[in-house]
Amino acid sequence: MQNEPLRILVVDDEPAILRTLTGFLTLQGHQCDGESDPERALQRLEEGLYHLLITDLVMPKMDGLELVRRVRETDSLAEIIVMTAFSTLDRAVEAYRLRISDYLLKPFESLDQVESLVRQAEARHRRWRDALLRTLDARSSA
């Protein structure tokens, strides 16, 4: 289980960003899916198990903050990275209030910056998972 690849869903309405991120993260050894429609992304999140959501803030139909709010209704521990080219202090504060993991400004400095944030999210996910497994193991042993 320790070598299980990180399962990532990237949500962005810009096809070039979506292709670039999903391709890059897949090459880095992650299991990465992409979705351009935030409503379909929400369905995929409800149907499948993802360790990390990377979502754009400004999208048609549903903005990234609404997507994060809806994810938080069912998954309080999800790792979430929000990315945007258009940010205000109010939106950034709201994103952190919703307990996002990180905030990424577009254009990215480099794809290495993205991978660094993903690695940090992966480390947090694995710590939570390991703590949960230890707790469950201790309860079953008692």
Q: Tell me: the pLDDT tens digits for 3-25? A: 688 999 999 999 999 999 999 99
* CATH classification at residue 55: 3.40.50.2300
Residue 76 lies in a domain: yes
Residue 1 lies in a domain: no
Contact 59, 11 (CB under 8 A): yes
User: What single DSSP character describes residue 50?
Assistant: -
Residue 2 lies in a domain: no
Closest alpha carbon to 80 in 41, 53, 46, 62:
53
Q: Which domain holds residue 30?
A: 7-141
Residue 46 lies in a domain: yes
Question: Domain count of the chain?
Answer: 1
pLDDT at residue 2, as a whole number = 54
User: Does the pLDDT of residue 1 top 50, yes or no?
Assistant: no
- Residue 31 CA from chain centroid, whole number: 12
Q: Tell me: the pLDDT tens digits for 25-61? A: 999 999 999 999 999 999 999 887 899 999 999 999 8
Residue 35 lies in a domain: yes
Which pLDDT band holds residue 93 (cuts at 50, 70, 90)? confident
Residue 87 lies in a domain: yes
User: Does the pLDDT of residue 132 top 50, yes or no?
Assistant: yes
